[in-house]
Amino acid sequence: MIPNGLLRRAVCVALMMALLALTGGTVLAADAKVYHDKFSAPSWQGPLEEMAEYALEEIGITWETIGYPTTDMHQTAVRTSLPSSRAPEMFTWWSDFRMEALYKTGGLVDVTAAWDARADEYNPALRAAFEFEGRVYGVPSNLAYWSMWYNKAVFEEHGLELPKTWDEFVDICDYLLGEGITPLAHTVQGRWPTFIWFQEILTRLDPDAYEALMIGEINYDDPTVREAFDIWQGLIEAGYFVDPGTDLFAEVPRMFANGQVAMILIGDWYTDGLDSVGLKAGVDYDTFILPAINEEVGNVIIYEAAPILFGKNAPNAEAALELADWWLSPETQARWCEILGFIPPNAKSDASFLMAPKKDLLNEINEAGYRLVNRYWEATPTEICEAAVDEFARFILNPDQKDDVINTLVTIADRYWAAQ
């Protein structure tokens, strides 16, 4: 039997030979270019090249995959080329406010028709992350849910049950601390992770207040936002977190593996880091969704969704709608997500490839009808976010400066919204 990969490549060669014959021996190596910044582990270079082979087989379009070694290089390449015919046909980016500046350039292809054709296959919250003024400009390259990853051996050794309420969660933290185990990971390294506990606490108090804050309807001195800071301060001062200088990627997985830290609140993509230190999903670690603080808010979970966008000025921009429809299909989403171990965002995709705990997480979200709330990094205006993560870091290091941090955030937000 010929292996699937070899068979697929053989089919691609045959198709290319046919194209050569039809065009008198002249054919481009690719119909499109794809830019991405996922060049480090886990790299998207190989997976995107593999998807290009599938696209050639199924819709007769293929692409050249161009990866940049740093995010800054990727962003510069996209921003400088987007207004011109050098623009890539496809490129990875970030959603919501992180995407807004590109939308305002007029350099993105409108792919609303592709979404409308599959309206029953996607959660409306996901579409909204790529939508401006009622039109959609991206398709999902990945969807990640943010939940609490816990060390199963630690919980089992100490007879701990998964918390169903916020009070039970705090009780677990108290118990673990008394046993000499740091309950939670937290860091100021890299700047961006500083928003994690802010978004999680506020959404569990009032997700409506969180979303209102993101779009400037309330400010950081709102009573509910202040309450979130109070609760966060209590967790910090109780000693529940690792040293804030701990590296979330280089150090925390090892500390988690040896039982020094029991829980990590982060996106499900983080499991690659846990696997890299020899842990096995569902055996050594599992996950639960952090309980609500205000039980009236119902079931809420933070998600992040990164888009693939399409350059309007690219040489083969006319292929965008066909590529978008193909990428949104249940089959393509299942194939792409299986390659990279993602949870498929398309509700009709076959997700049988998922292993616990991601399969269990997806089932719980679907069965309990969780409300999806976009991650702070994308959901708040970039200008506010870039300043806020530094203020969050200051708060983590010096929680007694809470009032000054809040006042500074109010000033930053007021300045931004006044200019809009």
Any residues with CB less than 8 A from the CB of 25 and at least 6 apart, and which?
A: none
Q: Please indicate, yes or no, whether residues 392 and 263 belong to a single structural domain of this protein.
A: yes
Per-10-residue mean pLDDT for the chain, 420 residues long?
A: 40 39 40 91 89 97 95 96 97 97 97 97 96 98 97 98 98 98 96 97 98 98 98 98 96 98 97 96 98 95 97 96 97 97 96 95 96 98 98 98 98 98
Strand partners, 34: 65, 90
Asked whether residue 189 falls in the same domain as residue 296, the answer is: yes
Does 402 lie in the same domain as 255?
yes
Q: Quick one: 356 and 275 in the same domain? A: no
Alpha helices per DSSP H over 60-194 = 71-81, 97-104, 112-116, 124-128, 152-157, 166-178
Identify whether residues 386 and 317 lie together within a single domain.
no
d(CA 222, CA 410) in angstroms, rounded, equals 10
Residues 6+ away with beta carbon under 8 Å from 262: 150, 151, 154, 155, 176, 181, 182, 183, 184, 256
Task: Please tell me the distance from the alpha carbon of residue 277 to that of residue 227, in angstroms, as a whole number.
Answer: 37
DSSP state letters, 289-351: PPPPSSGGG--EEEEEEEEEEEBTTSTTGGGHHHHHHHHHSHHHHHHHHHHHTPPPSSTTS--
Q: Are 140 and 332 in contact (CB under 8 A)?
A: no
Q: Which of 282, 251, 278, 247 is nearest to 268 (CA)?
A: 282
**Quick one: 170 and 94 in the same domain?**
no
User: So what's the pLDDT on residue 41?
Assistant: 62
Structure confidence at residue 31 (pLDDT): 87
Using the 3D structure, point to which of 330, 352, 367 is the last residue of a domain: 367
Residue 101: exposure state from Cβ atoms within 10 A (0-12, 13-18, ≥19) = exposed
Are 22 and 107 contained in the same domain? yes
One domain for residues 21 and 88: yes
Given 326, 348, 367, the domain boundary residue is 367
CB–CB of 248/185 below 8 Å? yes
Q: So what's the pLDDT on residue 9? A: 40
Tokens of 232: 């966060």
In this prediction the pTM is 0.90
DSSP secondary structure of 50-92: HHHHHHHHHHS--EEEEE-SSHHHHHHHHHHHTTSTT--SEEE
pLDDT of residue 240: 98
Same domain, 24 and 86: yes
Domain count, the chain: 2
Q: Which domain holds residue 77?
A: 4-143+304-367
For residue 133, the 8-state DSSP code is T
- Each residue's pLDDT tens digit, 88-110: 999 999 999 999 999 999 999 99
Residues 316 and 264 in one domain: no
The enclosing domain of 275 has a CATH number of 3.40.190.10
Hey, what's the torsion of the CAs at 90, 372, 192, 154, to 10 degrees?
A: -120
Residues 405 and 271 in one domain: yes
Task: Quote the CA–CA distance of 342 and 319 in Å, as a whole number.
Answer: 26
Q: Does one domain contain both 384 and 268?
A: yes
Task: Determine the pLDDT at residue 27.
Answer: 33
